[in-house]
A and B are shown apart, each in its own frame.
Chain A
Amino acid sequence: MVKPRVTRIEKGMSKQSDRPVAADSEILEQRLGQLDGILREAVSVCIGYSGGVDSAFVAAAAVRTLGKANVLAVTALSESYPENQRRTALDVAARFGIPHIELRTDELNDPRYAANPTNRCYFCKTELWGRLVELARERGLATVVDGSNADDSADHRPGALAAREHGVRSPLQEAGLTKRDIREASRALGLPTWDQPASPCLASRLPYGIAVTNGRLRQVEDAESMLRRLGFGEFRVRHHGDVARIEVAPAEIGRALSLAETLVAGIRALGFDRVLLDIEGYRRGALNEALVLLPAGARDA
């Protein structure tokens, strides 16, 4: 059974608290029951596994429901995948007995991806899901699944089109599980990812139209590592060409200002000319805000 014992739903527990939430634990139990049924129907699964909140949960749930022999979690390693995320993925897989492999992907060598159009994710995910469908076939796994959740359908996600084109299923989304549900259920399962900040790939820090290069991705990764070492919780370093724009949680803006000298010295040393602090703080999908200025046809993959 997937079902962890859910004891309570806390208001404000999720850092994505503006998202749809489960009204109470009964609804969450119901959704977890649906997840259990969806996984059983899938028979055996090959999971696109980044080690983030969602994919860690679906992988752990799959092992509980289907058994190790019917699960394979696959992490795609590339320049856009943060090293700290990889450590989490390895740790969770080891601690929760999730069969796990890594494979190299090479999206930076696809000029359609590297040009960083608004549907950049489509090209990355096309490669990823193509590789996983092939791998699943080789290993005799019936279904390829991802960690998309019920909140994700509200976002601009051209990668979802690639998933659909490859027949990838989204058990969490199909079960109606929101991010908050997943955090609560992850906590009940003992997953260390339950309160982990959202962790999209490093290329998401580059505004559309700014070419994705290994050098820029390393600048972002190193700058964010610095913020992590300084104790910030949820944050992003957005790469605007010669400018680094830091987003931290609104409650941490004061602390970021008090560390201005340290931040400027550290981030300029990475090659940025200017270091700016966003006064409105961290916002999930902040670079997608630009999409409202684009014609609808330009937004979708």
Chain B
Amino acid sequence: MRDTPNDERLTAMAGLLEREGIAYEGVAVAGAHDDVAVVRTRDVDADRLAAIAKRIRALGFRYVTIDLETVAGGAA
């Protein structure tokens, strides 16, 4: 599920998604600077995710993204 040692940020992000009732399969941190939040989901509600993007960034990320490979149904 995660590819970064920063468990705290990931746990907080997962908690936020759950509290908002947004379905996800996993969360991760990406990017050379570990500043990209990744939400893995096949069932994307883009508007709702965009609405909480600022709160996700406040957890210590610069960018909030969706993993397109998960959307496409491939192996994440």
Contacts and interface: CB of A to CB of B under 8 A. Distances in A.
Interface of A: 207, 209-210, 240-243, 245-246, 250, 253-254, 256-257, 260-261, 263-264, 274-281, 286, 289-290
Interface string B39-76: 10000101001100100000000111111110111100
A254 B30 CA distance: 22
A162 B43 CA distance: 48
9 contacts: A209-B32, A257-B71, A264-B72, A264-B74, A275-B67, A276-B66, A278-B63, A281-B50, A286-B63
DSSP class of B's interface residues: helix, strand, loop or mixed? Answer: mixed
A264 B63 CA distance: 19
Contact of A275 (B31, B33, B64, B68): B68
A266 B62 CA distance: 25
B38 interface: yes
A207 B68 contact: no
Contacts of A289: 62
Given A207-B31, A243-B31, A279-B46, A260 B36 contact: no
Q: Could you say which interface size class chain B belongs to?
A: 20 to 34
Contact of B36 (A210, A243, A261): A243
Contacts of B73: 261
B37 to A, nearest CB: 9
B32 A264 contact: no
- The residue among A263, A264, A274, A286 with the most chain B CB atoms within 10 A of its own CB is A274
Contacts of B50: 250, 253, 279-281
- The residue among B65, B69, B71, B73 with the most chain A CB atoms within 10 A of its own CB is B65
- The residue among A242, A253, A276 with the most chain B CB atoms within 10 A of its own CB is A276
B64 A245 contact: no
Given A263-B68, A264-B72, A276 B36 contact: yes
